[in-house]
Structure 1
Amino acid sequence: MQFYANGGAWADVHYSLAGGSQLNVRMNNSGTSNSYQISGLSSGEVVSYWFTIGQSDGSAVNTPTQTLSYAAPAPAPTPTPSPTPSPSPSPVFPSVGTTFNLINGTHGAYQDNQVYWTMVGQDPAHPGTFVHVNCAGALIPMQPGDDGALTKDGQNYVNYSIPLSQCKSFTVPQILSARIYLSVGSPMYIQAVGSPVYGYTGPNIDNPSDPNIDVTYDFVEVNINATNFYGNTTRVDQFGFPVRLRLQDPSGYDHTVGETETRAALFQEFVAQVPQPFQALAQVQAPYRIVAPTHGGFGSGGANAHYLDSYIQSVWNQYRSQSLVFTDAQGTFTGHVVGNQFVFTDGQGTYYVNNMPSTQEVLLGNGVFNDASNAAPGVATAKQLQIQAQLDAALNRHVAGNSADWNTSADFYNSGPTNYYSAFWHTHSINQLTYGFPYDDVSGFSSSLIGTNPTVATITVGW
């Protein structure tokens, strides 16, 4: 079970199990995100908890006590059986940071010299410095002169991509806001931007002339600080090929996320299992990828641009005359719609979803779902953003009409219109965990992995 407390410079979780003694633990911190995981719970075990959240002005705020009954996650659908692998050897942990082990799981479709990794991010020792990573795990600052090492269609690009034949294991002590791009048959075409460099141009699948539009790639998101590894696979933008991420730490933590089926099977099953409006997502940029809805007809001006509008309108109409009551880590909130504004209170403040969202805002989690307007600073802003994330997740999952369903995955995606793209990837992912939309981490259904350093992360490129 994972606790989250966002919006604080630090946070403590205070919890008790089955009425036992209270435990007080400092949570793992990354920026203003705080998390802590407990294990060994039995299904039905009662957990009581509350948080102390540190504020930027040095003060601290206590949240109300909450109680829940732990429900063990539902098992994932059994994929096509595969041969039982030989027991893996015990991981060799680095002295600090994370050792990445990359595996070519393309079953001969691509040799090691055709499978590339490209790691880019920021150096925590030098804030704002963008870096790429080499085989030694060193953070190499991006330089304006890096552009030109690769060319495509007359344009110059950096060459930060490394084939598995050159190295497939490296250790990174720390790195922030990083991506590990994985590509087959081609390196990634990236440009360093600015002099001095203040960023880089990653792939843009909405741009038909993007140099990576005909490159089959995928990526893993990573953040490594002095104490923790945070990482995830993602389907928020696209599916290029199956990717698995396994994370291990010395405490015995050992979890894997991603997909186990073949690329061909997933393409075929997607078209067969999603409703007609979503089928084109596997066709508009084939054979390179299956795109997320807003990249394939559900964006502004697209054929399905208003796909969720009727459902959104029905939810807003429902809560004009009814109250929406839900509880999350920051308290219990009661909301109702006034005009087109969704207004919430917890007895301590007032929080807003400032307008009725569009289909695109629901699918992308942006606009009114990432809007601090009208909120008081500090804790109130954090609560407002958390409320927006909760409601956005409920709309994607078609459970916004009944908050009792918000934490039960068996109730998600059962009625249309809903985000059938996300539903598909949950069904076909290990333990039904993935990022099918940006706020899929609400209630713990994302593919996020958090380990205590030193850690070993094994990434498998499937096909």
Structure 2
Amino acid sequence: MLRKIPSVFTALIITVVLLLTGKVSVYAADYTSGVTVSGTTATIWFKSTVNTSWVDVHYTLNSGIQQNFRMTYNNTTARYEKNITNVVNGNIINYSFTYNNGTPAYNTSTFNYTVGDNSSTVATPSISPSGGSYTAAQNVTINCATSGATIRYTTDGSTPTASSQVYSGPISVTSSKTIKAIATASGMNDSQVASATYTINGSQSTNLIPLNSGMQMTVQFNNNTNGAWNNSQIYVNIIGRNQSGQFCTIAPNGIMTPCVSGQNAASYFYPLSSMSGFQIPSYVSSGRLYISMGAPLNIAFNKAADGTVGIAYPNIENPSDPSYKSYFDWAEFAVINGQIWINTTQVDMFGLPYTVELFTGSSTSYSSLAKVGITESRDSIFSEFKSQVPAQFTSLATQQAPYRILAPIHGGFRSGQTNGTYFDSYINSIWNQYTTSNFVVTIPQGTFTGRVFGTTMNLTRQGDYQVYHVNKPKGDEVWGGSGALATGNDIEKALEAQICAAFHRHVMDNAVNLNNPYAYYQTGAADYFSKFWHDHSLNSRAYGFCYDDVNDQSSTIHGVSPRGAVINIGW
């Protein structure tokens, strides 16, 4: 798990986050699962539709101690199974899975089943017309046979969550996309996910700019500011590392020019009126794409003691910074080996509403893979933020208004500041809780059981004699994913990422919900700054804090054979 580091504003910043989590952020539902009962034996089953070599099940019976098992593949039923014996009517089984699909491992949501209650699961939604190839746009309807059920859906191929769009009427499908839907009802198990993929073979809704020879992909922009800014007033800049590890500026023609100490990026910002977009070469790591309204940003290039050149990104905590009173925002990306990872981010701040839509395919034949970001206006976002977050968080939208909404770590939530003790009570209660009970978490490397001794949580896994340690974090370390939550070996760092995310989402006290988005942010102390961005972003995908990619909640899009990205700049 790679931490998305909140910006540390020093005179010289040598490194930026490299978005190579290796975990696909937009994926298809690739399994079915459930529970069957025969006599006094309940069988939890998992049936994969992809190349899956192992599945772990995590379950509790009647809220007892969580059990973790590697499931057995049943050749007759073509599925992975785990039997629970001596069950009786009324027993409640809560269960979730960890499974691999190629290199990474994925955690599912938590499901529940009541033995003897055959009507406890909401009917799977029906999507009409069926998925397939069409020559014209389609109006898609979704229905559920369970009376009173609420249907939530996505249009980017991601699995719907409790924060996804509520279905209220026909969905207009004008370009190729995948719709997924889930139905929920009070007192019942959620339905299985319904999915339908539509290929629209008419004229493309988006025409990408031509791809130059030797380039991997393009980036182009739409001015959706409704006249607030004209194209000559909107500036964009791209900085990233080349294969030699040098920070470079990227020109619209795709040429990467190493940054020179003593210069700054202002002369490498291009107004939209001067170009059709950017060509992107086959290798760019640690990429940032800045959008600035009214004027370029003054981003200095400085030399470090080792002779390398680093980037002094805007310091939003320094009123003397030349970019402090500028309207700007940025996206982050990496292009490596014919793949791209790209995301929007509010880890540090919100400055501008924008969306990123990724297209994959060949130079002349491509289709939309996914779209992330915010489509609401700035005025709406500022107003809604102040009315929807708890009182401690409202000042984040006023301290540097009208330029930006600050992330808590930059807006008064560090030690010694107004809200510097926000997480302290929750951290203390969690450390006390796990001195007498087990904390169970599953990561790709296995299932770990932890117990607190003093200020350290010791975690072990079956068959491994090594003990892994996570120290009790301070509030600052929770907000920043730093210190105690960013140290040790690779396994300890992966465990720390899970714990950090659980604190932000307020599920650390109930580990069965670590991978259940329905349970996130339901009570405090929680990161309501992050919750707001999930509530107001397309398909609830946002990077609201440093480890928001835990359980695949971030706005990261991963694409193979990227052809182009379209960035819609709002206001």
Is the CA contact (8 Å cut-off) linking 1:101 and 1:168 kept in structure 2? yes
Superposition deviation, residue 76 in structure 1: 2.2
Change (3 A) 1:145 1:208: closer
2:487 to 351, 363, 371: 371
Matched with 1:350 is 467
Structure 2 letter corresponding to 1:34: G
Matched with 1:39 is 28
1:89 to 191, 206, 215: 206
Matched with 2:389 is 274
Is the CA contact (8 Å cut-off) linking 2:458 and 2:467 kept in structure 1? yes
In 1: Cα distance, 2:166 partner to 2:269 partner? 35
Is the CA contact (8 Å cut-off) linking 1:99 and 1:455 kept in structure 2? yes
Structure 1 letter corresponding to 2:22: N
Alpha-carbon deviations, 1:406-447, whole Å to 9, x = none? 111110000111111001110001111101100000000000
Matched with 2:137 is none
2:164 to 50, 61, 76: 76
Matched with 2:248 is 131
Alignment of 1:16-415 (within 5 A): 33-35=21-23, 39-41=28-30, 44=33, 46-47=47-48, 49-50=53-54, 66-67=98-99, 72-74=159-161, 76-77=164-165, 88-89=205-206, 91=208, 94=211, 96-124=215-243, 126-127=244-245, 129-144=246-261, 146-147=263-264, 158-173=266-281, 174-194=283-303, 198-250=309-361, 252=367, 254-347=369-462, 348=464, 349-354=466-471, 356-372=472-488, 381-415=489-523
Is the CA contact (8 Å cut-off) linking 1:253 and 1:451 kept in structure 2? no
Change (3 A) 1:461 1:253: closer
Is the CA contact (8 Å cut-off) linking 1:93 and 1:454 kept in structure 2? no
Structure 2 letter corresponding to 1:134: A
Structure 2 letter corresponding to 1:320: T
Matched with 1:462 is 570
Larger of the two Rg values belongs to structure? 2
Change (3 A) 1:459 1:80: farther
Superposition deviation, residue 453 in structure 1: 2.2
Is the CA contact (8 Å cut-off) linking 1:332 and 1:346 kept in structure 2? yes
Alpha-carbon deviations, 1:161-193, whole Å to 9, x = none? 111111141111121101001111121111111
Question: For structure 1, which runs of at least 5 residues remain unmatched after alignment?
Answer: 8-29, 52-63, 148-156, 373-380
Structure 2 letter corresponding to 1:254: L
Is the CA contact (8 Å cut-off) linking 1:144 and 1:192 kept in structure 2? yes
Change (3 A) 1:268 1:79: farther
TM value normalised by structure 1: 0.81
Superposition deviation, residue 315 in structure 1: 0.5
Is the CA contact (8 Å cut-off) linking 2:435 and 2:451 kept in structure 1? yes
Structure 2 letter corresponding to 1:219: W
Aligned residues: 405
Is the CA contact (8 Å cut-off) linking 1:306 and 1:358 kept in structure 2? no
Structure 2 letter corresponding to 1:296: G
Superposition deviation, residue 320 in structure 1: 0.5
Question: For structure 2, which runs of at least 5 residues remain unmatched after alignment?
Answer: 4-17, 34-45, 56-69, 72-97, 100-106, 111-158, 176-204
Superposition deviation, residue 85 in structure 1: 10
Is the CA contact (8 Å cut-off) linking 1:256 and 1:430 kept in structure 2? yes
Change (3 A) 1:80 1:217: farther
1:333 alignment partner, SS class: strand
Structure having the higher helix fraction is 1
- Supply the RMSD in Å over aligned alpha carbons: 2.8
Matched with 1:10 is none
1:419 to 514, 519, 527: 527
Q: Percent identity of the aligned residues?
A: 35
Q: Which is further off, 96-105 or 251-260?
A: 251-260
